[in-house]
Structure 1
Amino acid sequence: MKILFTSFLYLIGGFFTQSVAQPARHRAAQDSLTAELEALRVQGHFNGFGVAIVSGKGVLYQQGVGFADAQAGKPYDLHTVQYIASVSKTIVGLALLKAQELGKLHLDDPIDQYLPFKVRNPAFPDVPITLRHLATHTSGIRDNDFYLSKNYYLRPGLPLAGLPMTFDATQTFIPADSAVSLPEFLRNSLTPEGKWYQPKGFSARRPGELYEYSNVGASLAAYVVERACGQPFPAFTKRYLLRPLRLRDSGWSFRQIDFARYSRLYGSTTVPLPYYATTTYPDGGFISSVADLSKYLHELIRGYQGRGTVLGPASYRELFRPQLAAGNFEDRNERNPFSESYNVGILMGFGYTGFIGHTGGDPGVVALLFFDPTSGIGRILLLNTSYDDRPSEATMYQIWNTLEKYQHRVGG
């Protein structure tokens, strides 16, 4: 949901299908890569993680490393599932474009024509907010003070003794019976009569002018898809994305996945977190595995190359078209290769290097998914442990860079 690391990401790799017909040099490179990843894990900064290298041809490499449950000794494997945090927003982008293909909405429609409540920036009450504004983080909607204190709730029926009820100074896990639905949260946060409404939850800039990353805005976009298409957002994405791509491990809630495969999440290697869910689930609550994300990244790469299957060519061109100009940014770092906010497509991030994808971070989750449009190779990293110091951050970089080192050696 929130980006835990604006100081990190990018540099991308390829996709993997282990085949007995692979050349011996590829198998040897894969074995060497696995050994290097295991050596990084035993440094002790992360309990478990999954990685993949993907190309437009298929999966070049994928591997689970370490433990999904360190206390139980349960391995982290290719079908271990966990939250992917803000990488989830890219799925909202595809859903918006699929709904547009179906004639249910248009990106330049005002969102108010689909909502049961009116959302306007109080500084610009006569200026409508459009779906494109939401999809490019230029709506002016900000995450207010209640986003972290009212959004994350505990999964009922599981023991909580000894587990932390806060993740940091602002992020609180609330009881399940205090959770509200996504529409309730949005109404209470975005309308003046709402109990969590704050004027500072909106920018002082006109809608469409300024890029400001917004979790609430992304969740609102998913709710518009739900309203426009007349079916719950999870059902819409299952029909038009998960089933066509055969994403069998994935879903938007614990009910939609095999919970026996769910990874424990950790605040640090020794601090397991309680099982939690989020009210604004579209902005970061997609649950998936490295195996499924490899299929998803394969589709994104093929879509960029004009060979995608879940969207038509015109929709993919829109998804990957940089939507903003320099004037839409107040603080644009043009030298940091690990910033995904140099530009944006339809909820799809771009770095100044040209890499395309998204990063994500939530309690116990670090996620990276990017591809290089020039080489057509992409990389995935899912961690089940938050990093909280320089050494663990450095190890995370080493894992990511090790994938890059091998991306041309593990497959053709």
Structure 2
Amino acid sequence: MKPLFAVLALSMLSSSASSALPEKQAKLLTAQLQAIVSDPAMPLPSLSVVAIRNGDIVYSQQLGSKRLATGTSPAQPADANTMFRIASISKFVTTLGTMKMVEQGLLSLDADISDVLGYRLRNPHFPDHPITLRMLLTHTSSLRDEGGFKWDPAVNLREVLVPGGRFYGKGGFWSKAAPPGQYFEYVNFNSGIIATIMERASGERFDRLMRRLVFDPMDMKAGFYLADFAPADINDIATLYRKREKDGDETWNPNGPWIAQSDDFGVALPVSPVGLDNYAVGTNGTIYGPQGSLRISANELAKVMLMLMNEGRYGTKQILKPATIAAMMARQWTLTGDGKNGNGDSDSYYGLYRAWGLGSQHFIDASTVKNGRASGDRLVEGGGFKGVGHLGWSWGLNALFVFDPQAKNGMIYVASGVGANPDLQPGQFSSEARFQERITDALYRGAIAVP
């Protein structure tokens, strides 16, 4: 596959020819990434990457296939337009829309969210503690995912969250350990409530609101609702894979077939959720997957990264004010290590989550070894890169969006599947799997930390 040394054809995303990696360095980096993709210990169906240095895109590359070959159709190569269901990086992008509404005065970070929802929302174990948007964005809301985090359009979240509701069950959504605002636990459900709040404050469906606030102003091909995409765009979406024993079997088998886990649109086109036509805006923002269902390419994510590096400016447009960007990126929570504000192991995926901003992880370059296993958020071997961003894992997809706002260096990668259980191939200097470490280390050394 011929490497792309810079993204020169995409509107508003181009780098000057002088900022691209020299051809020899680009070829070497491409070869290193291809070796990772083709590694029989952890093969990847496809890998899409972007590296930014000093505020310029210096390298962009796509390897592998967005759809693997079947008995009736050949493999389809990944390209610059290939979009992925980006998993939890969706939360980071959702936060851009949230902060735009804060900037406009439609939402407040520190007001009781009950005021927007229209009903009193409290953790029943701590009824005197209001829950705020800031708590939701920093995973300190005292909510949990144990009861689920996505419901059909007919379900009003009030009946999920408030005792006595039809879907409240045993109240497994609420923590008994600590009141809101004190304790970090990574929770998907927070994003669904944020989307509901955004709908209530705007009167618009979440997917359309995000298009109006973020995607259209930045000329982005991206979206939370696939039925809005044209057929040509659907064809750009990568299928996500794992190697399993067989279809429907969750057993890992590195020698087994690739089994589609999500977005297998070569087989069946997406359909609208049942009951969407009767959905009452502002009752259940989970249906659009604000926590993990955004479809977007690595190159479109690079537009977001450059906008944030440039204090909210995208070309001639001010998408977010500099003060809004500063507030979003400011540190909100740091693990104390004494168990009082978060558990570094069980609640932070082997110590991966050490610090947090508003809807964004702070990668503080921590690395330790505990019980023979590496732990921490370090991104490159030996350290040296700190940044802000988000990780994404689900359905076999593994992805990273991270940048240093001061140096204006950044890395994006998206892998559309894994061929073995990542937990059995732990990293050497972080909580990540070894193949993830190899990708970030190659991008950093090959495209950012170069003469």
- Inter-partner Cα distance in structure 2 for 1:64 and 1:260: 16
Select the residue among 215, 232, 251 that pairs with 1:242.
Answer: 215
Instruction: Name the amino acid aligned to 1:317.
Output: A
Select the residue among 405, 426, 439 that pairs with 1:399.
Answer: 439
Aligned counterpart, 1:100: 102
- Inter-partner Cα distance in structure 1 for 2:321 and 2:392: 27
Instruction: Name the amino acid aligned to 1:378.
Output: G
- Inter-partner Cα distance in structure 1 for 2:351 and 2:303: 25
Task: Tell me the CA shift for residue 247 of structure 1.
Answer: 1.1
Aligned counterpart, 1:293: 301
Structure 1's unaligned 5+ residue stretches are 1-13, 152-178
Moved over 6 A (4+): 304-308
Residue 28 (structure 2) pairs with residue 32 (structure 1) = yes
Give 1:13-412 correspondences, 5 Å limit.
17=8, 21-22=17-18, 26-44=22-40, 45-55=43-53, 57-71=55-69, 72-147=74-149, 151=150, 180-181=152-153, 184=155, 186-192=157-163, 193-204=165-176, 205-248=178-221, 250-257=222-229, 258-268=233-243, 270-275=258-263, 279=287, 281-303=289-311, 309-326=318-335, 329-332=341-344, 341-353=353-365, 354-386=386-418, 387-389=420-422, 390-391=424-425, 393-408=433-448
Label 1:374 to 1:332 Cα distance change in 2 as closer, same or farther (>3 A).
Answer: farther
- Inter-partner Cα distance in structure 1 for 2:127 and 2:288: 25
Task: Tell me the CA shift for residue 409 of structure 1.
Answer: 6.8
- Inter-partner Cα distance in structure 1 for 2:21 and 2:240: 36
Task: Tell me the CA shift for residue 283 of structure 1.
Answer: 0.7
Contact 2:52–2:59 (Cα < 8 Å) also in 1: yes
> SS of the residue aligned with 1:356?
strand
* Residues 276-307 of structure 1: CA deviation (Å, up to 9, x unaligned): 88736001111101120111111122238999
> SS of the residue aligned with 1:184?
coil
Instruction: Name the amino acid aligned to 1:212.
Output: E
- Inter-partner Cα distance in structure 1 for 2:449 and 2:335: 37
Task: Tell me the CA shift for residue 117 of structure 1.
Answer: 3.9
Label 1:378 to 1:228 Cα distance change in 2 as closer, same or farther (>3 A).
Answer: same
Instruction: Name the amino acid aligned to 1:220.
Output: I
Contact 1:52–1:59 (Cα < 8 Å) also in 2: yes
Label 1:24 to 1:225 Cα distance change in 2 as closer, same or farther (>3 A).
Answer: closer
Task: Tell me the CA shift for residue 64 of structure 1.
Answer: 0.9
Aligned counterpart, 1:9: none
Contact 1:15–1:58 (Cα < 8 Å) also in 2: no
Task: Tell me the CA shift for residue 338 of structure 1.
Answer: 9.1
Contact 1:337–1:352 (Cα < 8 Å) also in 2: no
Label 1:290 to 1:80 Cα distance change in 2 as closer, same or farther (>3 A).
Answer: same
Task: Tell me the CA shift for residue 263 of structure 1.
Answer: 0.8
Instruction: Name the amino acid aligned to 2:133.
Output: L
Task: Tell me the CA shift for residue 146 of structure 1.
Answer: 3.3
- Inter-partner Cα distance in structure 1 for 2:341 and 2:35: 40
Contact 1:252–1:287 (Cα < 8 Å) also in 2: yes
- Inter-partner Cα distance in structure 2 for 1:396 and 1:305: 31
Once the two structures are overlaid, the 10-residue window that deviates more, 105-114 or 48-57, is: 48-57
Q: Give the number of the structure with larger relative contact order, counting CA–CA contacts within 8 Å between residues 6 or more apart.
A: 1
The alignment's C-alpha RMSD in Å is 3.1
Aligned counterpart, 2:249: none
Contact 1:68–1:80 (Cα < 8 Å) also in 2: yes
Percent identity between matched residues is 26
Label 1:224 to 1:298 Cα distance change in 2 as closer, same or farther (>3 A).
Answer: same
> SS of the residue aligned with 2:333?
coil
Contact 1:185–1:279 (Cα < 8 Å) also in 2: no
> SS of the residue aligned with 1:65?
strand
Aligned residues: 364
Label 1:19 to 1:383 Cα distance change in 2 as closer, same or farther (>3 A).
Answer: same
> SS of the residue aligned with 2:62?
strand
Task: Tell me the CA shift for residue 24 of structure 1.
Answer: 8.6
Task: Tell me the CA shift for residue 20 of structure 1.
Answer: 8.1
Task: Tell me the CA shift for residue 53 of structure 1.
Answer: 0.5
Instruction: Name the amino acid aligned to 2:353.
Output: S
Once the two structures are overlaid, the 10-residue window that deviates more, 302-311 or 346-355, is: 302-311
Q: TM-score, normalised by structure 1?
A: 0.80
Structure 2's unaligned 5+ residue stretches are 9-13, 244-256, 265-269, 271-285, 366-385, 427-432
Task: Tell me the CA shift for residue 406 of structure 1.
Answer: 1.2
- Inter-partner Cα distance in structure 2 for 1:197 and 1:243: 40
> SS of the residue aligned with 1:114?
helix
Task: Tell me the CA shift for residue 231 of structure 1.
Answer: 1.2
Structure index of larger Rg: 2
> SS of the residue aligned with 1:245?
coil
Contact 2:302–2:412 (Cα < 8 Å) also in 1: yes
Which structure has greater helix proportion?
A: 1
- Inter-partner Cα distance in structure 1 for 2:54 and 2:79: 23
* Residues 59-96 of structure 1: CA deviation (Å, up to 9, x unaligned): 21111110111113100111111111111111222222
- Inter-partner Cα distance in structure 2 for 1:264 and 1:342: 32
- Inter-partner Cα distance in structure 1 for 2:329 and 2:314: 11
Q: TM-score, normalised by structure 2?
A: 0.73
Contact 2:307–2:314 (Cα < 8 Å) also in 1: no
Task: Tell me the CA shift for residue 38 of structure 1.
Answer: 1.6
